[in-house]
Amino acid sequence: MRALSYVGELTLFIWEVLKRLPKVFSVIPVIISEVWKLGVGSLSIILITLFLGGFATAYQAAFQGRGYFPEVYIGMAVAKAFLIMLGPLLTGLLLAGKVTSALAAEIGSMKVTEQIDALETLAIDPYHYIILPRIMATLIATPILTMVGEVSAMVGGGICAITLLHIKLINYIEGLRFNFIPMEFAGSLVKSAVFGAIIGIIGTFYGMKVMGGAESVGKCATQSVVAASVLVLVFDNIVGVLMFNYPI
């Protein structure tokens, strides 16, 4: 019953957000501000993590395939791994941990300090001015951060190839270009947009669920991270299966 109640509450919350969607243009300045804050605040962790991921992927690909395929395939292995799977997934999980909890804590604190109630008293719709801009910001910023992260991963793979594997840069770049399929890149952006929507919805949903004092804020922030991380993994598989069976 608790699961059904949770699904019902989340569905009603999403419906309330969707009803405000036609008015999204009136909050564009807030969305831009939130995108900037989210992007700048998360950029360093995305760059470092995916750089190290690309570095490790290149090394493992060379180690596992030594003597079996030419060195040009190292670049292809890094590109395929991060465009199809690791780029959007790692970005989604990192943002699920960092951004979801921040959104839940921010909105939860606004509820605890009765700022949400004050907005409603002034006939200002919190779903329109607080919730919708943050969801749209995560929806926009996540694909951008994914693209930046994928480039960082390929740079990391290139540095590994040149310094540790002694592969010529031209061969690594040729590997990146080999069998490149633009629709795979588009698919990674679709995935990351889905993850961005999940992160924004779950973070704001749990923020609005806060009842009581500071203890409730911390509890809801923790629950939001768990829920967002699980949903990112679930939808990674769902979107992946759909993309392979029904290509764009």
Handedness of CA 237, 238, 243, 244 (dihedral sign): positive
Alpha helices, DSSP H, located in 66-168? 72-80, 87-112, 115-121, 126, 132-163
Q: Is residue 233 part of a domain?
A: yes
Residue type at 132?
A: L
What percentage of the chain carries pLDDT values higher than 70? 97
Reported residue count of the chain is 248
Q: Are 110 and 209 contacting, i.e. CB atoms less than 8 angstroms apart?
A: no
* 59-68 average pLDDT score: 77
Q: Is residue 6 part of a domain?
A: no
Could you give the CA distance from residue 209 to residue 21 in angstroms, rounded to a whole number?
Answer: 21
Q: Does residue 68 surpass a pLDDT of 80?
A: no
What's the mean pLDDT when you consider all of the chain? 88
216 versus 232: the higher-pLDDT residue is 232
Q: How confident is the model at residue 89 (pLDDT cuts 50, 70, 90)?
A: very high
Q: Is residue 117 part of a domain?
A: yes
Q: Does residue 239 surpass a pLDDT of 90?
A: no
What percentage of the chain carries pLDDT values higher than 90? 41
Crossing angle (nearest 10°) for helices 214-245 and 182-208 = 160
Residue-wise pLDDT tens digits, 222-231: 899 999 999 9
Residue-wise pLDDT tens digits, 107-130: 988 888 888 888 878 888 888 889
Q: Is residue 74 part of a domain?
A: yes
Amino acid 231: pLDDT = 94
For residue 214, what is the enclosing H or E element?
helix 214-245
Name the phi and psi angles at 45, rounded to 5.
Answer: -70, -35
Considering only CA atoms, which of 167, 124, 155 is closest in space to residue 30? 124
Amino acid 67: pLDDT = 64
Cα angle: 104, vertex 110, 112; to 5 degrees:
95
Q: Is residue 5 part of a domain?
A: no
Domain residues for the domain of 117 are 29-245
Q: How confident is the model at residue 54 (pLDDT cuts 50, 70, 90)?
A: very high
Tokens matching residue 108 = 């939860």
Amino acid 183: pLDDT = 82
Residue type at 16?
A: E
Q: Number of folded domains in the chain?
A: 1
Radius of gyration of the chain (CA): 21
* 96-114 average pLDDT score: 89
Amino acid 50: pLDDT = 95
Could you give the CA distance from residue 92 to residue 229 in angstroms, rounded to a whole number?
Answer: 8
* 37-65 average pLDDT score: 89
Tokens matching residue 201 = 């919805």
Name the phi and psi angles at 208, rounded to 5.
Answer: -75, -15
Cα-to-chain-centroid distance, residue 121: 34
Q: Is residue 151 part of a domain?
A: yes
Task: Tell me the pTM.
Answer: 0.90
Q: Is residue 8 part of a domain?
A: no
Amino acid 1: pLDDT = 66
Q: Does residue 46 surpass a pLDDT of 70?
A: yes
Amino acid 247: pLDDT = 60
Amino acid 209: pLDDT = 86
Could you give the CA distance from residue 123 to residue 228 in angstroms, rounded to a whole number?
Answer: 31
Q: Are 190 and 239 contacting, i.e. CB atoms less than 8 angstroms apart?
A: yes
Amino acid 110: pLDDT = 86
Considering only CA atoms, which of 46, 139, 43 is closest in space to residue 89? 46
Amino acid 241: pLDDT = 83
